[in-house]
Amino acid sequence: MATVRKLAGLFRAIAAEDLASASAIATEICKAEQRQGHTTAARLLRGALHPNGRALTQAEGPPGPFPGSTGFLSTGLVRLAPDVQLQDVVLTTKARQELQAVILEWRHRERLQQRGIQPRSKLLFHGPPGCGKSLSARAIGRELGIPTFVVRFDAIIGAYLGQTAIHLRQLFHFTETTPCVLLLDELDALGKKRGSPLDVGELDRIVIALMQELEHSRPAGLIIGTSNLAKHLDDALWRRFDLTLLFKAPSRKVLTSYAKRLARAKGIRLPVSVLRRTAAADSFAHAEGIVIGEARRQALRTVG
Ligand SMILES: Nc1ncnc2c1ncn2[C@@H]1O[C@H](COP(=O)(O)OP(=O)(O)OP(=O)(O)O)[C@@H](O)[C@H]1O
Ligand SMILES: [Mg+2]
């Protein structure tokens, strides 16, 4: 434990509003705990001192309820381009109807709320890779006329004990005050970060903090989680979403018409052999890669 002499010095610095000295003494206390092998205590103290991974300085002032909120959000959120329309995303009839219903609820949210009905605002898209989960989230943002932000989970997970929960609170506060689509992409990654220095106990706490935030939040826009490893998701997390939607792997027929549509847009015709390969693809993304490769080959032939 910190000596009384150090604590007295810290209190004096706080009383004198000398943040630089307070910060220096607090850092010294953290180091002393670390030296004595009190690792958890040292992390707890460091987390309290650097809530955003940054040192407290005179210029920033003392931490408020969301200390340095621009700090984490400026690196933890990436705005996605509104370059895709929902009508261009291939969806099953059921998925399209569900998404249209959510969009309609959002547009009429005030009238619904006046009648005591909460519009659905937390969606979970799951299914195999490359089948339109992230694409649909972007398209929905465009459809609603609000920005889409993807969350960088590596930025959320703080180096210090307790920091991740602070980041999650900042993130959800942001969604409650800013109409946007918040994309929690590859949600399963949050619960099973490989090579993470965090212990299992802290991972559990992160998932619990995420569940609590999801449960209580009233987003101004939509929160969309995605996962292609749905079975890795905690059942309790799953239940926090208002709508879960499966993005199935496309059939051969759907892949063929998708490939033909892409080819038309690129002004090429696909030979039968290429059409066969696209029909056997395991996802839209895979089929798209085959069409792009073919377009490149055909372009080179005309150039050469
Ligand atoms: N349903 C679809 N309709 C049209 N294009 C699609 C569709 N699904 C995928 N694509 C194409 O494949 C690309 C990758 O898709 P997307 O990022 O949505 O995959 P995902 O389902 O989120 O996969 P992952 O689980 O790997 O994140 C898209 O940018 C788009 O070009
Ligand atoms: Mg994705």
129 Cβ closer than 6 Å to some ligand 1 atom: yes
19 Cβ closer than 6 Å to some ligand 1 atom: no
282 Cβ closer than 6 Å to some ligand 1 atom: no
Quote the pLDDT of residue 25.
82
Find the 76 Cα to ligand 2 centroid distance in Å: 17
Find the 294 Cα to ligand 2 centroid distance in Å: 24
Residue 150 neighbours by CB distance under 10 Å:
21
- Tally DSSP H helices, then E strands, for the chain: 15, 6
Instruction: Return d(Cα 28, Cα 169) in angstroms, integer.
Output: 28
Quote the pLDDT of residue 161.
64
Fold of 71-246: Rossmann fold (3.40.50)
Quote the pLDDT of residue 43.
78
CB 90 within 8 A of CB 250: yes
Quote the pLDDT of residue 256.
97
Ligand 2 (ion): which residues have CB within 5 A?
Answer: 133-134
Q: Residue 122: phi, psi to the nearest 5?
A: -125, 110
> How many angstroms separate the Cα of 20 from the Cα of each of 47, 50, 60, 62, 150?
17, 13, 11, 11, 35
If one residue of 86, 91, 123, 135 were mutated to test the ligand 1 pocket, choosing by the most ligand atoms within 8 A of its CB, it would be 135
Ligand 1 atom at shortest distance from the alpha carbon of 247? 21
Quote the pLDDT of residue 232.
77
Q: What ranges do the domains of the chain cover?
A: 4-49, 71-246, 252-303
CB 168 within 8 A of CB 72: no
206 Cβ closer than 6 Å to some ligand 1 atom: no
Quote the pLDDT of residue 194.
40
| Residue for token pair 């898209």 | 125
Ligand 1 atom at shortest distance from the alpha carbon of 91? 1
Q: What residues of the chain score a pLDDT lower than 70?
A: 1-2, 16-20, 50-71, 159-161, 190-203, 304
Instruction: Return d(Cα 267, Cα 277) in angstroms, integer.
Output: 19
225 Cβ closer than 6 Å to some ligand 1 atom: no
228 Cβ closer than 6 Å to some ligand 1 atom: yes
Quote the pLDDT of residue 18.
65
165 Cβ closer than 6 Å to some ligand 1 atom: no
**Which token pair is 208?**
């619990």
pLDDT per residue over 104-152, tens digit each?
Answer: 999 999 999 999 999 999 999 999 999 999 999 999 999 999 999 998 8
Instruction: Return d(Cα 164, Cα 140) in angstroms, integer.
Output: 28
| Contacting residues for 134 by C-beta, under 8 A, at least 6 apart | 150, 183, 185, 226
| Residue for token pair 């690792």 | 39
pLDDT per residue over 219-235, tens digit each?
Answer: 999 999 999 988 778 88
Ligand 1 atom at shortest distance from the alpha carbon of 136? 18
284 Cβ closer than 6 Å to some ligand 1 atom: yes
Q: Helix, strand, coil shares of the chain as percentages rounded to 5? A: 55, 10, 35
Ligand 1 atom at shortest distance from the alpha carbon of 186? 27
* Closest to 50 measured CA to CA, from 128, 159, 147: 159
For residue 209, give the amino acid letter.
A
| Contacting residues for 76 by C-beta, under 8 A, at least 6 apart | 151, 152, 155, 156, 167, 171
Quote the pLDDT of residue 19.
66
Quote the pLDDT of residue 304.
65
Say if strands 181-184 and 148-151 run parallel, antiparallel, or are unpaired: parallel
